[in-house]
Homo-oligomer: A and B are copies of this chain.
Amino acid sequence: MNIPLTPVRFLRYAQQQFPQTTAIVCKGARYTYGQFADRAARLAGALRKAGVKPGDRVAFMSLNCHRLLEAYYGVLEAGAVLLPLNIRLSPQEQSFILNDSGATILFVETEFLPIVDSFRASVPSLKSIVLLDGEPNQNWLAPQNYDAMLAAAEPYQPDITTFDENALAELFYTSGTSANPKGVMLSHRNIYLHALYTCLSFNPSIDMVHLHTIPLFHANGWGAAHFVTQLGGKHVMLQKFDAAEIFRLIETERVTGLGVVPIMALALIHCPQREKHDLSSLDRISIGGAASSPTLVRELEQKLGCLCFSGYGLTETSPTLSTSVSKPGSEWEGEQKFKGQAMTGYAIPGAEMRVVDANDVDVPHDGKTMGEIIARSDGVMAGYWNQPEATAEVMRGGWFHTGDMATIDENDYLLVVDRKKDIIVSGGENVSSLEVEKVLAAHPAIYEVAVIPVPDSKWGELPKALVVLKPGAQATEAEILEFCRSQIAHYKAPRSVEFFESLPKTGTGKVLKKELRKKYWHGQDTIRPERVGN
């Protein structure tokens, strides 16, 4: 018997088995799994009533909210494709994404109406805009209201055997630093299997309470939209990062797990409210989004009193590929434990990860040699929306090429060292820009830094530091260069420094290194090639 693998089954199962159990806590409101599933089914009914057809793209512009979570199931129940927009992108980027995807309907929170207003005219495919929150107010831009639509709709839950597990379920746009955003197509099967694997990898307790600190528009909050539902756990919604509010919610909702990026971890460690709250329910915290450090892991574990480990993944991989939780039978102690848990980690069940050279040949498992991470897993996307060539490029040889450079050690633990396109090749040696930036960031006068390659006739490329100083702080080029040389190999240390007032960034806060490089490569005989397709 083959039953289609679709995340819709997660909510159906919870509806059947845990109808009275609290599913969602959102701004004080509480919904049981029975209510959650009913609202999702009503959303499906409302979408069909509104003329949404199977395969149509349904866009959401929303902070973490029970309504966005409902969309993760209701849009799929209707056979449509969920397109969660990253609210941090510029109006131009939003407009590009809506046009590229051909979305016909957009659900939006009141606070984002001005953005929608600014691009509305440039997206003719958009037939209707629905206001997620607030009262039905006949707003000229979004005359319909989400809750009113649900109230007027009939629940729609087709027989599960009518789903196609290979159909498109979710479309997430990656914030490219080098090109227009690309739509990552995740199938029902991708998402379903990914959720099972993350559950297995994290080994959550059966009474899971997950705090959604990561926006659901980032590959569904690192998968939490689905793996929490699958386990009948409690979703606790957080709209915007606020350490004090997080501690309050951990105590009142008895939160067992959450995810953070390193900057959020630092804020949690240093928040004075921390000691006023009972955090004993916390079981585990995963760190992702950027490189962690043993110090950060140790401080989190000691100050928040729970297991803390790293994870790694991309939108293209649903997202989780690796975890740094210790392997069965391994007995890490003391600093070894924190060092291990700060690594990128090893492939979770269902995933395979390799580190390869430019010819896709595995590099030695020595913890030193750099190569690109390539992966195979059931969570790897179906492809980029309407971009067969870009898809073929990253999927070459049947493996997804991540564009991330890493080392791999004898125990198969990976450590990401840089984005492939930001690696500096100087005198035949690979230099990780991230590694050099980490050293410079520790300089007391430096607020922000980017290290990029500049052309050199002898060495091919040389590292250059682009530095923003802290307000009122002072440092000379010579001091900074010497500071760096005292701490890392000379071939890695920048040969020059340039000072900036600020560094250009993408909507998600990534430094636009490609933009910064342009100036130094202008007029060169050889334009610095992009080293990876994405």
The reply to whether B161 and A398 contact each other, CB–CB distance below 8 Å, is yes
A17 to B207, CA, bound (A): 29
Q: Find chain B residues with CB under 8 A from A17 CB.
A: 327, 346-347, 412
Which residues of chain B are near A378, meaning CB under 8 Å?
Answer: 1-3, 5
A311 to chain B, nearest CB (A): 15
Report if A349-B381 is in contact (Cβ < 8 Å); known contacts: A3-B376, A22-B329, A327-B232.
Answer: no
**Other-chain residue from B166, B196, B381, B412 in contact with A200 (beta carbon distance below 8 A):** B196
Residues of B near A450 (CB, < 8 A) are none
A208 CB-CB contact with B under 8 Å:
yes
Count of identical protomers in the assembly: 2
Contact status A231-B200, CB under 8 Å? yes
- Is A293 among interface residues, defined by CB-CB distance under 8 A? no
Proximity string of chain A (309-350) to chain B, C-beta cutoff 8 Å, 1 when within and 0 when not: 000000000000000011111000000000000000011011
Assess whether A426 is interfacial by the CB under 8 Å rule: no
A473 within 8 A of B: no
Question: In the complex, which residues of chain B have a beta carbon less than 8 angstroms from the beta carbon of A9?
Answer: 350
By the criterion CB–CB under 8 Å, are B1 and A400 in contact? yes
Q: Mark A188-211 against chain B: 1 for CB-CB distance below 8 A, else 0.
A: 011000001101100111111000
Write the chain B residue with the least CB distance to A329.
Answer: B21
Q: Is A352 an interface residue (CB 8 A)?
A: yes
CB atoms of B3 and A206 under 8 A apart: no
Which residues of B have CB within 8 Å of A1?
A: 190, 376-378, 380-382, 395, 400
Q: Is A230 an interface residue (CB 8 A)?
A: yes
Contact (Cβ within 8 A) B2 A206 = no
B residues less than 8 Å from A329 (CB atoms): 18, 20-22, 207, 232
Closest to A203 in B: B206
Complex-state Cα separation, A16 to B362, whole angstroms: 14
Does A453 sit at the interface, judged by CB under 8 A? no
CA distance A205 to B5 in the complex (A): 26
Contact A206 B328 (CB under 8 A): yes
CB distance from A253 to the nearest CB of B (A): 13
**Most chain B CB inside 10 Å of its own CB: which residue of A200, A378, A381:** A200
Partner of A206, one of B161, B199, B325, B347: B325
The docked-state distance in angstroms from the alpha carbon of A196 to that of B412 is 23
Closest to A379 in B: B1
Enumerate chain B residues within 8 angstroms of A233, measured Cβ to Cβ.
Answer: 328
Most buried by B among A196, A197, A199, A329: A329
Q: How far is the CB of A353 from chain B (nearest CB, A)?
A: 9
- Interface membership of A119, Cβ < 8 A: no
For window 19-36 of A, CB contacts with B under 8 Å fall at 20-22
Contact of B327 with A21 in the complex, beta carbons under 8 Å: yes
**Complex Cα–Cα for A346 and B329 (A):** 32
Contact A166–B2 (Cβ < 8 Å): yes
CA distance A212 to B395 in the complex (A): 41
Residues of A161-197 at the interface with B, using a CB-CB cut-off of 8 Å, are 161, 166, 189-190, 196-197
- What residues of B have a CB within 8 angstroms of the CB of A398 in the complex? 161
A483 — which chain B residues lie within 8 A by C-beta?
Answer: none
**Is A13 in contact with chain B by the CB < 8 A criterion?**
yes
Question: Within the assembled complex, what's the spacing in Å between the Cα atoms of A204 and B349?
Answer: 14
Are B325 and A3 in touch, CB under 8 angstroms? Answer: no
Contact present for B18 and A328 (CB under 8 Å): yes
Set B203, B232, B350, B382: member contacting A328, Cβ < 8 A = B232
CA–CA, A18 and B347, complex, Å: 11
Chain B residues near A205 (CB-CB < 8 A): 203
By a CB distance below 8 angstroms, the chain B residues around A382 are 1
- Shortest CB–CB separation between residue A184 and chain B, in angstroms? 12
Q: Do A328 and B200 touch (CB < 8 A)?
A: no
Chain B positions within 8 Å of A231 at CB level: 200, 328, 349
- B204, B328, B377: which contacts A3 (Cβ < 8 A)? B377
Asked if residues B352 and A16 are in contact (CB atoms below 8 Å), the reply is yes
Taking the nearest CB of chain B, how far is it from the CB of A390, in angstroms?
A: 15
Docked pose: A329 CA to B256 CA in angstroms = 14
Contacts of A207 in B (CB 8 A): 328-329
What residues of chain B lie closer than 8 Å to A376, measured between beta carbons?
Answer: 1, 3
Contacting residues, chain B, for A199 (C-beta < 8 A)? 200
Question: A2 with B203: in contact, given A17-B327, A327-B21 (CB under 8 Å)?
Answer: no
Chain A residues at the B interface, C-beta cutoff of 8 Å: 1-3, 5, 9, 13, 16-18, 20-22, 161, 166, 189-190, 196-197, 199-200, 203-208, 230-233, 325-329, 346-347, 349-350, 352, 376-378, 380-382, 395, 398, 400, 412
The 6 closest A-B pairs by CB, nearest first: A1-B380, A232-B328, A21-B329, A196-B196, A207-B328, A3-B378
20 cross-chain CB contacts under 8 A = A1-B380, A1-B395, A2-B378, A3-B376, A3-B378, A9-B350, A13-B349, A17-B346, A17-B412, A18-B329, A22-B329, A196-B197, A199-B200, A200-B200, A203-B204, A203-B205, A203-B206, A206-B325, A207-B328, A230-B349
Known: A1-B382, A17-B327, A196-B196. 6 other contacts (CB 8 A): A1-B376, A1-B381, A13-B350, A18-B329, A21-B328, A196-B197
